Amino acid sequence: MPPGLPRYDYFDHDADTGVIGRGVTLQDAFVHAAEATFALMCDPITVAQDERIDVEFEEPDPELALVTWLNLLLAHANERGLALGCFELARDGHRWRGSAWGEPWRADMERGTQVKGATLTALHVTPQGDGWEARCVVDL
Amino acid sequence: MDIAKLHSIDPWTWTVPRTPGDTRHEARLYGSRELLAAMDDKVLEQITNVARLPGLVGAALAMPDAHWGYGFPIGGVAAFDPEHGGIISAGGVGFDISCGIRCLRTNLTADDIAHKAAALADSLLDQIPAGVGVEGSLRLDANELDTLMAGGARWAVEHGYGSADDLPYIEEHGCVDGAVPAHVSALAKKRQRGEMGTLGSGNHYLEVQRVAKIYNTRAAEAFGLAEGQVVVSIHCGSRGLGHQIGTEYLVSLAKAASRLGITLPDRELACAPIQSPEGQQYLGAMNAAINCALANRQILTHLARRVFTHHFRQSQLDTLFDVSHNTCKAERHKVDGRERLLYVHRKGATRAFGPDHPSLPARYRQVGQPVIIGGSMGTGSYILAGTAESENRAWSSASHGAGRAMSRNQALRRWRGRAVVDDLDAQGILIRSHSMRGVAEEAPGAYKDIEEVAAATEHAGLARRVAELRPLVCVKG
């Protein structure tokens, strides 16, 4: 990962927002892209790690894997009514296994904007320096 | 956008010149020079990409409020012929399938509600589930959702939400044909379990508005509108169910396009021939989501009526019209004098049938379909009427909103939510929201000039202005 750059960041899009995750490994970059995505909905520091979500999928294309990873997290968080703040991802060839931790939405949580889904727009997973950068536009 | 890249047909109609040998269809943009100059270059790229899709009929069109979307520009309209290899595209519909606006006219004036406006605003925030992570009181299992997806707003009426009198004033009379709940995944249904009757977040809102100006007396009379009257607009969509359908089919259609040898200029244009199994599956799921959105706005209409009745015992809120923005609909249109069945994608665009269209309720038959252009919470909205001319110009389509002038990140850097609320309060506009971040992202200054969008929509012949609405109370998701 290039020194001095934050592990997650955002880029501009007219109606929505672009998320960026950076990491030493591809999996790290994806984890940080998930942090960027869920930080749009609430501050991850305020989220307790009481409940866990597990996701598993097979995808040979790293770019489609990023979108699939984010969309599975969004779907399961939405389904279970959870705010998520912590993520983990492992990869074995084309097989991806990840987990996320969070808690049910509390009335006193400061809310941001709901992310509807990760899109294929401005979707790039590329080597950057000694690490990786993963980015795409998320629909708000 | 660099205007020099466009050829002007007239002051409101622009086309992207083709290079010699380029076989794509025409890419056409509607709007004033100023609106087009303010658009991102990506709009040009995206509408030109749409013009390369198989089975396109006529031009790929961008409405005056167009902005950078994903695959299609937001404000993009394109019609495809299933008999000539026409495709259906998940990127041409979007994630929030059938996101739209329900407009209710009331028997109240702005003066009637002025003394209770703050209490009304508080009650609306309390009773209308809004914002990320907020669920509604209605919980449905998968079987109940299947019935809802087949029935749309009719299902909601049958379950005590609103009245059958609402149905003629909703597109497709509240229920689109062709919904196939079996093509909606179990995960999509699980996401929707607690989401019926919820507003969502982002640019979704429930707004109490005052009719500030009448442009067309005859159409306003037909719509039941008069200056000073209070109307209520509800902007929301198909919630988690639609998002999940969009998510799943975006990837599966991208893979289908690759397998079927469809060359996509942008992967986000994920599509399949309408008549292919993949195309039919998406169509069935998307129609199910349209019905979900229609039912959702019907339930929210019921909740809004309950709040108004609590504060104003004699109040009456009648559905003026309900329009959807993110859809692909099977419609009959005349092409070179012959009627053909086309699948019209409207991504961030409103259907705008002109006078005498057989689908319109008798009340509006002579003046055309109500078209609602939603604006920012500080500037207002417009009601227009569809024109006969729009059929030839844009498959009877018009703008849907003001369109963003800057990104959400830029808005967050420029405004603080609390300050936006205070500023609007000083102007007599009451904002209620669970998200100050959301308010900052949606600050009025982050949007384009809606007056210019509405005027350009009229000058381009897409719809004509009937009334201008100004916000009084806005509940933001």
Q: Give pLDDT, residue B331.
A: 97
Which of B67, B311, B400, B459 is an active site residue?
B400
Q: Which of B41, B132, B236 to mutate to test the interface with A (most CBs of A within 10 A)?
A: B132
Please answer whether residues B372 and B349 qualify as being in contact, where contact means their C-beta atoms are separated by less than 8 angstroms. no
Mean pLDDT of A67-75: 96
Q: Within 10 A of B9 (CB to CB), how many other CB atoms are there?
A: 11
Size of interface A-B (CB pairs under 8 A): 130
pLDDT at A14 over 80: no
Distance linking the first and last C-alpha atoms of chain B: 31
Please answer whether residues A31 and A21 qualify as being in contact, where contact means their C-beta atoms are separated by less than 8 angstroms. yes
3-state secondary structure of B74: strand
Look up residue B289 and give its amino acid. A
Question: How does residue B137 score in pLDDT terms, banded at 50, 70 and 90?
Answer: very high
CA distances from B182 to B93, B279, B294 (A): 20, 14, 19
Q: Give pLDDT, residue A59.
A: 94
Instruction: Kindly report, residue by residue over B336-395, the tens digit of the pLDDT.
Output: 999 999 999 999 999 999 999 999 999 999 999 999 999 999 999 999 999 999 999 999
Q: What token pair was written down for B55?
A: 């089975």
Query: Residue B327 pairs with which residues in a beta bridge?
Result: B346
B132: chain A residues, CB-CB within 8 Å: 41-42, 105, 111-114
B252: chain A residues, CB-CB within 8 Å: none
Q: For domain B3-405+447-476, which CATH number applies: 3.90.1860.10, 3.40.1350.10, 3.10.129.10, 2.60.40.10?
A: 3.90.1860.10
* B39: DSSP letter: S
- Chain B contacts in chain A segment 37-56 (CB below 8 A): 41-42
Instruction: Kindly report, residue by residue over B456-467, the tens digit of the pLDDT.
Output: 999 999 999 999
pLDDT at B211 over 90: yes
ipTM above 0.95, yes or no: no
Q: Within 10 A of B164 (CB to CB), how many other CB atoms are there?
A: 11
How much is the pTM?
Answer: 0.96
| d(C-alpha B46, C-alpha B66), whole Å | 11
CB contact under 8 A, A75 and B42: no
Q: What token pair was written down for B73?
A: 């520009």
Look up residue B255 and give its amino acid. K
Domain A8-139 coded CATH 3.55.10.10: yes
Please answer whether residues B382 and B454 qualify as being in contact, where contact means their C-beta atoms are separated by less than 8 angstroms. yes
Domain positions in chain A are 8-139
| d(C-alpha B73, C-alpha B62), whole Å | 7
When CB atoms are compared, the residue of B67, B134, B438 closest to A15 is: B67
Domain positions in chain B are 3-405+447-476
3-state secondary structure of B220: helix
Query: Residue B357 pairs with which residues in a beta bridge?
Result: none
Q: Give pLDDT, residue A1.
A: 62
> Is B400 marked active-site?
yes
Q: Give pLDDT, residue A2.
A: 62
Query: What DSSP line would sit under B185-248, residue for residue?
Result: -HHHHHHHTTTTT---STT-EEEEEEEEEES-HHHHHHHT--TTEEEEEEEE--HHHHHHHHHH
Q: What token pair was written down for A53?
A: 């979500």
Counting residues of chain B whose pLDDT is more than 70, the rounded percentage is: 100
CB contact under 8 A, A15 and B404: yes
Instruction: Kindly report, residue by residue over B259-271, the tens digit of the pLDDT.
Output: 889 988 888 899 9
Instruction: Kindly report, residue by residue over B23-63, the tens digit of the pLDDT.
Output: 999 999 999 999 999 998 999 999 999 999 999 999 999 99
